[in-house]
Structure formats: C-alpha cells, structure tokens
Amino acid sequence: MRDKDLLRNMGLPMHSIKSFFQNWKRRAVQLISLFFIGEWSFYGIFRCPYAVPYIGCGNCPVVQCPGRSLWMWSWILIGVSAIFMGRVFCGWICPGGLVSEILGMFSLMRNRIKGTLSIFLSYGKYIVLLTSLYFFFILNNPRWAIPIRTGEFFNSVVLTFEHADPIWIYKTATILVLLAIGIAVPHLWCRFLCPTGGALEIFNKISIFKYSMNENCNNCDKCIQSCAAETRPSEINCTNCGDCVETCKTSAIEIRGLNGRVENNIQYES
C-alpha cells in the first residue's frame, strides 16, 4: 500500500493494462468502431481540406475518404445515442476517445486538474463548438487546403500538407499537439476542447438513461480515480462508459432512467 500511495503522490500512472481491459465489452465496441470509422477519423485530421471536418462529407472532393458514405449514418448514430445516453458515443465509439485513453494510461498528472479548475476548463469545448458552428454556417466552411482526390495513403497526406494554407497547417498541428499533451493531462482534448463532446454534454442532462449515484455514495471518489475522464457519474465530462461501476464498493452507481433506476432488467421507482 505504501508503494501505491507513493506512486499516487508522485502523480505516476495507476492504470495498468489489466485495468484498461477490465470493461472488455466497451473495449470490444471501441475496437469494432475503430475498424469501421478509424480511417475516416484519420482523414478528417490529415486530409480534410475544410475548416470543419466530419460534416457535410457527401460532396467532399477527396473521393478516397470513407466519410463520403459514412458521415450521415454516423451523425444519425451519434444523435440517437445522445438521446438515449448522453455522451455514450465518446466513451464507447469515438476513435479519438480510445486514443486519448491509451495516452492517459501513461499520464504523469492524473487527478491534478479537478474541482473548480476542471469545470472552468471544461467550458473550453463550448468555445470550440461555437467557433466551429461559425465557420460552418456563417463562413460556409471555407477550404484551407487543396484536396488530394486520390493517391497512396501516406503520400497523399504529404501532398495535403504541401498544398495547404498556413491556417490549415496551424489547425492540424494544434490538434495533434493537444492530443499529444494527453500524455501529461489525461483526456485533455475530450474533456476541455472537443466540440462534439461539448454538443453531446448538453444531452447528458436530458438523456433517457445515464449512470448516476444513489444514496449509498460516501464520497470516497474511487470512481474518479478509476475514470479516464476524471469525473463522477452524471457530472461534467461523464461519458457513461460504466468503468466506475466495478470500483464502487457501496453499490452507489446505477443506470437511471426517466422513471427510476434500471437494475438487472428490473425498474424501481425513484
């Protein structure tokens, strides 16, 4: 125990590979999602010529991008999942969320940004969301790079960088740097900057189902220690991933619906 306390005080990572795969069902879904939309996620960062990627991909001139056929169905899935369970897309499907979790396993600053500071920084994703909406709807999503319609995978990425406006390069470099900083600050992008996460956060309050805490909670905060996003159920940045359920020794975490809690397929009145 002394060794664990020492590591925790030093801020060294406490998540092992074993704990990473503890919720194996979620990992399986994430890997399946990575197989289907991972390439599109890659294209959105490295080859999308527009200011705001992943939206309106049907007419994109980059004909190799799988988003041309996936984007509408993906946004329908995101919308339906948000209605049913808030930010569940972030915790179960988003490839970026999976990358952030892997980087977060090696973080040296776990549980350092919390409380009021964490809440304050979390509003950053709403600023990014509003900026993205401004570029998309008001400026008609300007094109900042010459689209490389077809070509070899990595050569096309190089050509995109070579024929991009400086602002596109700055945008892409900023995103990559912020994702990389996730090694130091767990889930930096997802918690504080992701515009999609900001939009889905709104649904966390009104979704049909969500993980929540009941009267058995003794505020031990073991859920925060086990959470990749360093939050508690139903609080800001909760992605309804369910990883915290097994760590709660008082059975204080449950799935709650609009009419009460749902447990073992039996619904109880609130």
Tens of pLDDT, residues 85-125: 999 999 999 999 999 999 888 888 888 888 899 999 999 99
Tens of pLDDT, residues 126-148: 999 999 999 999 999 999 999 99
Closest CA to 261 of 208, 202, 204, 223: 208
Mean pLDDT value of segment 245-255 = 92
Tens of pLDDT, residues 192-246: 999 999 999 999 989 999 999 999 999 999 999 889 899 999 999 999 999 999 8
Q: At what angle do helices 124-133 and 195-204 cross, to 10 degrees?
A: 110
DSSP bridge partners of 261: 256, 268
Closest CA to 190 of 95, 120, 257: 95
pLDDT attached to residue 189 = 93
pLDDT at 7 over 90: no
Q: Taken in order 33, 35, 36, 41, is the CA torsion positive or negative? A: positive
Sheet holding 266-269, edge to edge: 210-213, 253-257, 260-263, 266-269
Closest CA to 86 of 201, 236, 198, 189: 201
pLDDT attached to residue 235 = 93
Predicted model pTM: 0.87
What residue has token string 């999308």? 48
Tens of pLDDT, residues 42-83: 999 999 999 999 998 988 999 999 999 999 999 999 999 999
pLDDT at 4 over 60: no
